[in-house]
Amino acid sequence: MNIRLFATDLDGTLLGPDGTVSRRNFAAMRRACAGGSFVVPTTGRSFYEMPRALRTARSCYTHCICSNGAALYSNDGVVLWKSTFSPEAVQRIVTMLRDYDVMLEFYVDGTPVTKREWLCEDAYRHFRVDPGYRAVLSETRHGVEDLDAFLAAHIGDIEMMNVFFADEEERADAFVFLGEGGDAELTTSMQCNMEILQPGVNKGTALRRLCGMLGVTLEQTLAVGDSRNDLAMFRAAGVRLAVSNACEALKAQATAVICSNAAHSFAYAYSHYKPDQTRAEGPIWTEQRHTARSIS
């Protein structure tokens, strides 16, 4: 089997239950890169949300798809492509969300930004943030005093919005209400959140775009995932592997169900689907490149 590109989700997939990449996964990623394969972390996280040990380990991946497909990066943090909402669409979506009890985050230039007062345990409990994800919020979010002022200054720069809901019924209602507006593509990766992107922007369309840049066919791609925001990636990939802890909707679309994220899922995938031959040529993209930056 001539797999040339390995795309892997992070949370619940590449990352173990402790939120880290195991040594076995790191070793397999290095072998894949050294053998000429493209290795692509594909995540709902923004670039600066990725674990530092992974983000700075450049020999372990070649590219990454971040913010659920709203941004493509090289392994040195250079933006190859990104998508941003129109200011008008952002304003309409934010106006709709004001009717709900939510914690709202804006993803700008690879950094998630939210109210500083929400970055605490009381707020995490109120908005039902998964306990295993709370440390990630505290470590990676840029908190601001006035979120409305930040939005006014950056309304043309929003790549993605992430929303945590205090009430499950409100979340279900918002999925219907926002889905009917035509301004957004909606998905989720947790029991309490909603991830909002531009229509047609998702992990699958980003994978297709990256394959076009690299001269890789979709049949030569393998994707590993666990949650509903991986469904679009599965629809694009030639081989689709769901970890055993994946949601049932993803397992139903999988080529195979493999080990859990606790059992070194990338190492398993690479050992069972090693490419028959290395890629012939290097990357062929010509898009303008911009270095990612942190929000200050």
Burial of 133 (0-12, 13-18, 19+ CB in 10 A): middle
Residue 182 has pLDDT above 90, yes or no: no
Question: Across the strands, what pairs with 114?
Answer: 143
Question: Across the strands, what pairs with 64?
Answer: 73
Q: State the pTM of this model.
A: 0.85
Looking at every residue in the chain, the average pLDDT score rounds to: 90
Are 103 and 163 a contacting pair, CB within 8 Å? yes
Percent of the chain with pLDDT over 70: 93
Which residues 6+ apart lie within 8 Å of 25 measured at CB? Answer: 14, 264, 265, 266, 267
Residue 282 has pLDDT above 60, yes or no: no
Backbone torsion region of residue 285, taken as left when φ is above 0, otherwise alpha when ψ lies between -120 and 50, otherwise beta: beta
- CATH 3.30.1240.10 given to domain 87-197: yes
What does the pLDDT read at residue 1? 61
Q: Which of 48-52, 61-65, 99-103, 143-147 has the lowest mean pLDDT?
A: 48-52
What does the pLDDT read at residue 225? 97
pLDDT tens, 221-247?
999 999 999 999 999 999 999 999 999
The half-sphere exposure of 276 on its side-chain side, counting CA atoms within 13 A, is 3
Kindly report, as residue ranges, where domains of CATH 3.40.50.1000 are found in the chain. Answer: 5-81+202-291
Residue 296 has pLDDT above 60, yes or no: no
What does the pLDDT read at residue 174? 94
**pLDDT tier, 29 (very low <50, low <70, confident <90, very high otherwise):** very high
Kindly report, as residue ranges, where domains of CATH 3.30.1240.10 are found in the chain. Answer: 87-197
Are 70 and 127 a contacting pair, CB within 8 Å? no
What does the pLDDT read at residue 86? 95
CATH number of 5-81+202-291: 3.40.50.1000
